[in-house]
């Protein structure tokens, strides 16, 4: 285009107008284009002659016409139009987004437009991506949230609100985690605070009680991060309560199976070894009496008879314990609670074992309070008392002492069987009352045992609603203490 200029100012204006990278134009209030710069040709593909004298509303997208006319009205009223967007048709029929800045002067409107099609496309793509992310976030069964440095929740999904016990997302976002009581009752609060302050990545399973009082297990992933030089916290939590309950149940089944296997091994061990041994002794002694009776002196015969008597008593006690233990394991031992005088029960057990104690020169003392009454099964309490006294006799040296006593503790009576025997090391104590620990010791007079008696005591005391513990010091003695409910 050849242009004629009247003066230098007009020359400068022309080049300034046409060197701009934006679309400059002058129009009237009706929208008729009076003057345009060369950028219109490059941006939209029209020749300037095709645009000048034409109303630009003819090129505006139908959906944008009303807002464009409204902007013209504002300009007619002397208002400025800044950052107004509309779509303008190109020569090839496509549309480009233009961002306008306009100002009216007299009867004319001076405008600068910029092609923002790429920006609009990117904004649309970003919006679509954000909408997609939001849909994914909200549909996720895993709870996701973010917090700022003050502990204020900035965003979260529905699953997160449900898991922590918030009625709605809006209510969750309005809260600061420093104010959430359910957090402070659990490990979650300290975990979030530590992660946020130290900008860490933490993965941990925690036990949690929600705001609704629901007991849960949560699998928590916490990440501290910086944004605009400010600390933030990302939390991803998953409700694993069902999984945890299955794990706990499986562990319980595994423990039960291990106990059953240990019980089976114990049972076969007793039958194959501990029960077989005494019978071999009995058979040996009886054969000597049968074949060598006339050749034995009276003292020899008495010694063999005493040995047979001892073996018979011990074997009977073992069979009795084995029978009771088997009945307990199979659920065939009935529990018949009644009011019992503890001192009388202990007196009966002492009387049965007095001769055994006297043979080792051991004194049996009944210091149980007459007033102490319990509610338990008589046969079970008798069996427990006999076993504990018998066990104390076994591990007490000649001239020793065994004392039975009782005390009150809240709703229980505590019965103690204390001896002045050899005592136990810590490792030995830890192996008592355990089916999976094969532990037997020889008594001070060479007495043998199976460990079954103490197992039986534990199961019977627990069946009666009590507990049994042991205190022991090597070289000083042991005290077995069992509790029974008060009558």
If 0-12 CB within 10 Å is exposed, 13-18 middle and 19+ buried, where does residue 470 land? middle
CATH value at residue 354: 3.30.565.10
Nearest to 98 by CA among 127, 128, 59: 59
Instruction: Please give the biggest Cα pair distance in the chain.
Output: 161
Nearest to 213 by CA among 191, 192, 186: 186
Distance CA 101, CA 57 (A): 16
In a domain, 383, yes or no: yes
Write out the chain's pLDDT in tens, 487 residues: 445 545 555 555 666 777 778 999 999 999 999 999 999 999 999 999 999 999 999 999 999 999 999 999 999 998 888 889 999 999 999 999 999 999 999 899 999 999 999 999 999 998 888 788 788 888 888 999 999 999 999 989 999 888 888 888 888 887 888 877 777 777 888 889 899 999 999 999 988 887 777 888 999 999 999 988 899 999 999 999 999 889 889 998 888 888 777 766 666 655 554 566 567 677 888 888 888 888 888 888 888 888 888 778 767 776 776 777 677 766 667 888 999 999 999 998 898 888 888 888 999 999 999 999 999 999 889 889 988 998 899 889 999 999 999 999 989 999 999 999 988 888 888 878 776 555 556 556 555 555 577 888 888 899 899 999 999 998 899 999 999 999 8
Helix or strand (DSSP H, E) at 102:
strand 95-105
State the residue range of the domain holding 218. 140-239
List all residues 6 or more positions away from 4 whose beta carbon is below 8 Å from its beta carbon: none
Distance CA 221, CA 234 (A): 8
111 and 21 in a common domain:
yes
CATH value at residue 207: 3.30.450.20
In a domain, 457, yes or no: yes
If 0-12 CB within 10 Å is exposed, 13-18 middle and 19+ buried, where does residue 374 land? buried
pLDDT at position 281, please? 72
In a domain, 308, yes or no: no
Give the pTM: 0.44
Separation in Å, CA 79 to CA 72, 87, 270: 9, 22, 105
459 and 340 in a common domain:
yes
pLDDT at position 33, please? 95
156 and 101 in a common domain:
no
In a domain, 459, yes or no: yes
In a domain, 269, yes or no: no
Within 10 angstroms of residue 330's Cβ, the number of other Cβ atoms is: 8
153 and 108 in a common domain:
no
What is the separation, in whole angstroms, between the first and last Cα of the chain?
117
Separation in Å, CA 255 to CA 172, 250, 251, 465, 466: 42, 9, 6, 21, 22
458 and 364 in a common domain:
yes
In a domain, 80, yes or no: yes
- Domain-ending residue, one of 187, 212, 239: 239
- Domain-ending residue, one of 86, 117, 148: 117
pLDDT at position 4, please? 53
């Amino acid at each position: 285009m050849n242009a004629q200029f009247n003066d230098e100012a007009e020359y400068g204006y022309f080049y300034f107008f046409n060197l701009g990278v934006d679309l400059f134009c002058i129009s009237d209030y009706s929208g008729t284009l009076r003057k345009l710069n060369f950028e219109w040709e490059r941006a939209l593909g029209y020749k300037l002659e095709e645009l000048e004298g034409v109303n630009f509303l003819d090129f505006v997208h139908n959906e944008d016409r009303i807002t464009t006319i409204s902007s013209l009205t504002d300009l007619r009223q002397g208002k400025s139009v800044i950052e107004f967007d509309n779509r303008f048709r190109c020569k090839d029929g496509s549309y480009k987004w233009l961002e306008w800045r306009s100002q009216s002067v007299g009867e004319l409107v001076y405008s600068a437009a910029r092609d923002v099609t790429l920006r609009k496309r990117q904004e649309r793509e970003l919006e679509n991506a954000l909408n997609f992310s939001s849909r994914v976030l909200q549909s996720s069964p895993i709870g996701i949230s973010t917090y700022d440095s003050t502990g204020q929740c900035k965003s979260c999904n529905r699953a997160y609100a449900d898991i922590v016990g918030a009625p709605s997302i809006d209510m969750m976002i309005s809260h600061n985690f420093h104010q959430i009581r359910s957090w402070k009752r659990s490990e979650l609060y300290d975990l979030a605070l530590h992660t946020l302050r130290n900008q860490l990545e933490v993965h941990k399973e925690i036990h949690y009680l929600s705001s609704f009082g629901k007991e849960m297990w949560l699998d928590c992933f916490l990440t501290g991060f910086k944004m605009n030089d400010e600390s933030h916290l990302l939390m991803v939590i998953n409700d694993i309560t069902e999984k945890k309950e299955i794990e706990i149940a499986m562990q319980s089944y595994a423990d039960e199976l291990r106990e059953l296997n240990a019980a089976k091994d114990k049972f076969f061990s007793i039958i194959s070894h501990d029960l077989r041994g005494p019978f071999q002794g009995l058979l040996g002694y009886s054969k000597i009496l049968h074949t060598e009776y006339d050749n034995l002196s009276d003292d020899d015969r008495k010694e063999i008879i005493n040995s047979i008597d001892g073996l018979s008593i011990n074997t009977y006690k073992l069979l009795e314990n084995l029978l009771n233990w088997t009945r307990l394991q199979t659920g065939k031992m009935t529990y018949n609670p009644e009011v019992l005088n503890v001192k009388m029960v202990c007196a009966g057990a002492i009387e049965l074992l007095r001769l055994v104690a006297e043979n080792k020169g051991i004194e049996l003392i009944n210091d149980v309070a007459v007033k102490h009454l319990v509610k338990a099964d008589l046969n079970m309490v008798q069996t427990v008392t006999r076993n504990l006294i018998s066990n104390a006799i076994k591990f007490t040296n000649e001239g020793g002492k065994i004392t039975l006593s009782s005390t009150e503790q809240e709703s229980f009576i505590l019965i103690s069987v204390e001896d002045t025997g050899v005592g136990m090391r810590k490792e030995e104590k830890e192996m008592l009352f355990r089916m999976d620990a094969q532990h037997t010791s020889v008594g001070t007079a060479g007495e043998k045992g199976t460990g079954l008696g103490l197992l039986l005591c534990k199961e019977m005391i627990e069946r009666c609603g009590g507990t049994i513990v042991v205190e022991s010091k090597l070289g000083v003695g042991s005290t077995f203490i069992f509790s029974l409910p008060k009558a």
